[in-house]
């Protein structure tokens, strides 16, 4: 295993689309949605143990989740948890993680990945990451993984690539442009063109390359985190980060760097990826009965004349559903949600309305 390989796992999101199971105090990355005995972050951490030495895996999260991470990943050391004092999107957390890793090993190659995605084919995933890390170590480039689309999905961002490839790896193509979530007609045209991929939000680069990209495209943020180099991995790091985040703009790595840099490449991949963005993605991946019901857990749920439902309720709860078709039924934290599957995009707004009317205690 290459000692220069590092992983930065992003685990700071609140997962409001999975309310009421996912809540601010205990969001989706810490939940076992499929009843397999592992939460999403535990599965992600285990994947990267096959790519990086355990001491080279870092998790960046909101400081309110550090105790949950220690509980779910007991082998991780305090220095490997990067606690953000406030939420500032992905660019600041990547700048922080990259600089912290640079202080440890300036020759590091880093893979950055969300904590709440699922991967069906572990071997293909590991092969894609290792191939990308090998290329990033040899070239001044920023690599992202693009997923070969299987349908015209309007819920994902897309990456268009061209024939030009890295000199050291003909599988890794130059990126032409990034496109945010398209409408259905545009998504259909992307699928037909054959040169568009889903944006998985997984990035691979050398510490030198990403730091140079920050210096060029986001110089103020680069200077903020670069000034802390003498303090990273010391007792003074926490205080420094508390001040640094107050100075950072709220901006994503995609908008700040990936859409602007001229050395961005993509490796087309297909390893059974899902970003688990909505209940629909859970439904798609879950086992279903002969009429399309996905029930997790299923011990005490009884379905009568009901089909194509996504049901997630406590194990000890007896639930009877009669004549319900194409619905989401979720109970957690003394809260029940019943919503047509076709209207699940409204859940985020529902959560906002609940907060406005009843305060934060329900979210």
Residues 6 or more apart whose Cβ sits within 8 Å of residue 325: 306, 307, 308, 309
| DSSP secondary structure string for all residues of 22-79 | SBTTB-GGG--TTSSS--HHHHHHHHHTTTS-GGGEEEEEEGGGHHHHHHH-TT--GG
Do 173 and 128 share a domain, yes or no?
A: yes
**76 and 196 within one domain:** yes
| Angle between helix 90-104 and helix 219-226 axes, rounded to 10 deg | 40
Last residue of a domain, which of 233, 248, 274?
274
Which domain range does residue 333 map to?
287-358
Asked if 336 and 330 touch (Cβ cutoff 8 Å), the reply is yes
Q: Of 244, 274, 304, which closes a domain?
A: 274
Reported as a single tens digit per residue, the pLDDT across 19-55 is 889 888 899 999 998 888 999 999 999 999 999 999 9
Are 58 and 7 contacting, i.e. CB atoms less than 8 angstroms apart? yes
| 279 in any annotated domain | no
- CA angle at 198 for the pair 194 and 204, rounded to the nearest 5°: 115
Q: C-alpha angle with apex 123: 122 to 126, nearest 5 degrees?
A: 85
State the sign of the Cα–Cα–Cα–Cα dihedral 73, 124, 27, 340: negative
Please tell me whether residues 223 and 331 are part of one structural domain: no
The CATH number of residue 84's host domain is 3.90.550.10
pLDDT in tens, the chain (363 residues): 899 999 999 998 887 889 889 888 899 999 998 888 999 999 999 999 999 999 999 999 999 999 999 999 999 999 999 999 999 999 999 999 999 999 999 999 999 999 999 999 999 999 999 999 999 999 999 999 999 988 888 778 899 999 999 999 999 999 999 988 888 888 888 888 888 999 999 999 999 999 999 999 999 999 999 999 999 999 999 999 999 999 999 999 999 999 999 999 999 999 999 888 888 888 988 899 999 999 987 788 999 999 999 999 988 889 999 999 999 999 988 899 999 998 888 888 898 899 898 888 888
């Amino acid at each position: 295993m290459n000692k220069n390989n590092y992983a930065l796992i992003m685990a700071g999101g609140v997962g409001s689309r999975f309310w009421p199971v996912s809540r601010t105090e205990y969001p989706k990355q810490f939940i076992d949605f499929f009843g397999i005995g592992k939460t999403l972050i535990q599965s992600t951490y285990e994947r990267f143990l096959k790519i990086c030495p355990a001491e080279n895996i870092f998790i960046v999260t909101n400081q309110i989740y550090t105790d949950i991470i220690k509980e779910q990943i007991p082998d991780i050391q305090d220095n490997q948890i990067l606690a953000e004092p406030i939420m500032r999107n992905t660019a600041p957390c990547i700048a922080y993680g990259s600089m912290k890793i640079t202080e440890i090993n300036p020759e590091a190659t880093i893979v950055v990945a969300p904590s709440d995605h699922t991967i069906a084919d572990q071997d293909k995933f590991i092969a894609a990451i290792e191939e990308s890390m090998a290329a990033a170590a040899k070239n001044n480039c920023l690599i992202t993984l693009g997923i070969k689309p299987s349908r015209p999905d309007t819920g994902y961002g897309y990456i268009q690539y061209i024939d030009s490839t890295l000199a050291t790896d003909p599988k890794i193509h130059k990126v032409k442009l990034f496109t945010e979530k398209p409408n259905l007609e545009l998504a259909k045209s992307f699928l037909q063109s054959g040169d568009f991929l889903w944006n998985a939000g997984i990035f691979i680069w050398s510490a030198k390359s990403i730091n140079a990209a920050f210096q060029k495209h986001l110089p103020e943020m680069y200077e903020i985190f670069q000034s802390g180099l003498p303090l990273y991995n010391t007792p003074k790091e926490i205080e420094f980060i508390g001040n640094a985040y107050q100075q950072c703009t709220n901006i994503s790595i995609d908008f700040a760097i990936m859409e602007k840099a001229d050395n961005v490449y993509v490796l087309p991949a297909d390893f059974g990826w899902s970003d688990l963005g909505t209940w629909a993605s859970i439904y798609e991946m879950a086992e279903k009965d002969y009429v399309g019901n996905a029930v997790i857990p299923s011990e005490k749920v009884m379905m009568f004349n009901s089909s194509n439902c996504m049901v997630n309720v406590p194990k000890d709860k007896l639930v009877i559903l009669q004549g319900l078709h194409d619905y989401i039924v979720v109970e957690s934290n003394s809260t029940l949600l019943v919503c047509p599957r076709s209207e699940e995009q409204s859940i985020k707004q529902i959560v906002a309305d609940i907060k406005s009317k009843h305060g934060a205690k329900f979210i």
